[in-house]
Amino acid sequence: MDRRKFLQQSSLSAAAVAALPLASAAETKAKPSFRVAFISDVHIKPGAVPENGMQQAFKHVNALRPSVDFIINGGDAIMDAMKATKAKVQEQWDLWQKILTAENKLPIYHCIGNHDAWGWQMTEADIKNDPLYNKAWAVQQHQMPGRYYSFIKNNWKFIVLDSAHENNGGYIAKIDDEQWQWLEKELKATPADMHICIASHIPIVSYVSGFFYDKTEDNGDRKISRALLHTDSFKLTELFRSHTNIRCCLSGHIHLQDMVEYRGVHYYCNGAISGNWWGGAFKGFAPAYAVFDFFKDGGVSRKMVEYAL
């Protein structure tokens, strides 16, 4: 085959695969066991556009018919706590709680995003010693059982990971040793006939984070930042091979959308409520959230939903 035609056909094939939904029980007429809205990267801050945007997003989710059973917040609820004074962080959390209380009536489970962690880019010693430093403030605001945890819905277990960690004033995507030991025990303790969904702020596997978020290097190489994709992806996906009841992984963080199937696990990256940090669409992806149907047989189906700002 002519090389140019081969490359063209390969590109078209890849685009077609990316555009098609992954196979699941949703392709049958089976009724979902339950529905979930995955909202992520709200990045709330004072201002007419972000405040109205968060209000409209939660109104939209709560008005869905058929309704969703609960919401998973994929993290980065507030605009930024990594480099903000205590007063500025409190202002953002107060705004989050005010709008959430007014507009949301659904149960909600939370992931911690990197921008939810306080003080990583601050140098003052008193901040590092404050009880609210790092993830403690986010855990308190969200009333989470811990920075990572699990819960069960019907015959599905949801495992929520803490995937962003301070790294020399920035952050790195991974799970720490304590969390790794917990995850291994959690997976082993899950019955083989119970399906598993893993949620994390930062993607474990994602096509767009490596090829469409950052620019190509001058020499043609692709660079994937330690802050964009789990640096322990190889280790995690090897662990997942031993637990064939893991069906899907959900994430946000990069404000882009994709679906990847790797070794039988579906990885969904679910865009951002804030789009381009409240500046419209980000790289062609409008502000949106995901609605997932979970099936009794382990099937999963996703629909991306745009809402009106």
The answer to whether the beta carbons of residues 35 and 291 sit under 8 Å apart is yes
Domain segments of the chain: what residues?
36-306
Q: How many CA atoms lie within 13 A of 144 on its CB side?
A: 23
pTM: 0.89
For the domain 36-306, what is the CATH superfamily, name and number? Metallo-dependent phosphatases (3.60.21.10)
Distance CA 57, CA 45 (A): 15
- Taking residue 221's Cβ as centre, other Cβ atoms within 10 Å add up to 7
Distance CA 38, CA 304 (A): 10
Q: pLDDT digits over 108-144, tens only?
A: 999 999 999 999 999 888 999 999 999 999 999 999 9
Helices vs strands, H then E, count in the chain: 8, 13
Q: What angle do CA 208, 210, 2 make, to 5 degrees?
A: 85
Identify which of 134, 129, 130 has the alpha carbon closest to the alpha carbon of residue 118.
134
Mean pLDDT of 35-46: 98
| Tokens at 241, concatenated | 């091979």
Mean pLDDT over all residues of the chain?
A: 90
Q: pLDDT digits over 255-284, tens only?
A: 999 999 999 999 999 999 999 999 999 999
| Tokens at 27, concatenated | 């392709």
